[in-house]
Structures are given as C-alpha cells and as structure tokens.
Amino acid sequence: MGHTPYGYRIENGRVVIDEKQAQQVRDLFERYILGLSLKDAAEKAGLKLFHGSAGRILRNRKYLGDEYYPAIIDSVTFDKAEEERLKRAKSLGRLYEKAEPIKAENPMSFTIPKVQEKYTNPFQQAEYAYSLIECEV
C-alpha cells in the first residue's frame, strides 16, 4: 500500500481511524459545505493545508470506507461537498467539458502486400516496407 490518508493510521497491520485526525477531516467537510473557502475551512478545522491539499481530502473517496478503510465520512456529506465544489468551480468558470473527438470525414483503408526481408540495415528495410503501403479511399 502507498500513502495512508490523513485520518487513518496502521495498527497491527490494519488500517484504523485516528479519531482526532478524523474529526478534523469531518470538520473540514462541514465547514466547506457551510461556505468557507478550502484554506479557511482547513484552518478552522485545525489543519495547516494549502487549498490544493484540502481539495484532495474532499475528493478522496477512501473516506467513504471500503474493504480496507473504515468510513470517516458518510456519503451524504461527501456528495454535498462535491456538489458545492462543482458549483463553485462552475461559477468561477473552471469547469471544462471535454470536446467531442473529431470524426474522420474521409474514411481510408490501407493495404500492404507481404513484406520480404531485402535489407540488413533496419532503416532501409523500414523504408522499403513503408513504400509498399497503398491507400484506398
């Protein structure tokens, strides 16, 4: 396993909740949902974090719990924080939708006959092989 997220610790080879840190994580979520900025919510929760680090905590799904990590945050709180994050990002113009991939206007197909080994020099052999490719529109 890699890094143990804030709010957890390893005891006897198992992940357990560090209750003091977990309460800070819960406070961070609650304060952010109530309207504080990421940095201010972290400071009020007793965490010295930059906004990027606080944002990563808010997006870390491990806090919901899984087969390895016990839950620190319930799904309602997690979803509210994510909804708030998306609302703020949209209002600041920071949500970018992926552009649709450009579809080929002229579909093509290529054919190549069986390539024979003519040259020992790999560059000459590659040049020969590429010269055999024929395009069909």
Tell me the pairing of strands 8-11 and 14-17. Answer: antiparallel
Both tokens of 73, joined, read 């945050």
Q: What is the mean pLDDT of residues 19-47?
A: 96
Quote the distance between the C-alpha of residue 51 and its chain's center: 17
Residue 70 lies in a domain: yes
Residue 126 lies in a domain: no
Q: Is the pTM value of this prediction over 0.85?
A: no
Residue 49 lies in a domain: yes
Residue 108 lies in a domain: no
61-80 pLDDT per residue, tens: 999 999 999 999 999 999 99
Residue 51 lies in a domain: yes
Q: How many domains does the chain have?
A: 1
Closest by CA to 72, choosing from 7, 10, 122, 4, is 7
Residue 117 lies in a domain: no
Per-residue confidence (pLDDT) for residue 2, from 0 to 100: 65
Residue 66 lies in a domain: yes
Closest by CA to 27, choosing from 39, 42, 9, 7, is 42
**To the nearest whole number, what is the mean pLDDT of the chain?**
91
Percent of the chain residues past pLDDT 70, beyond the cut: 96
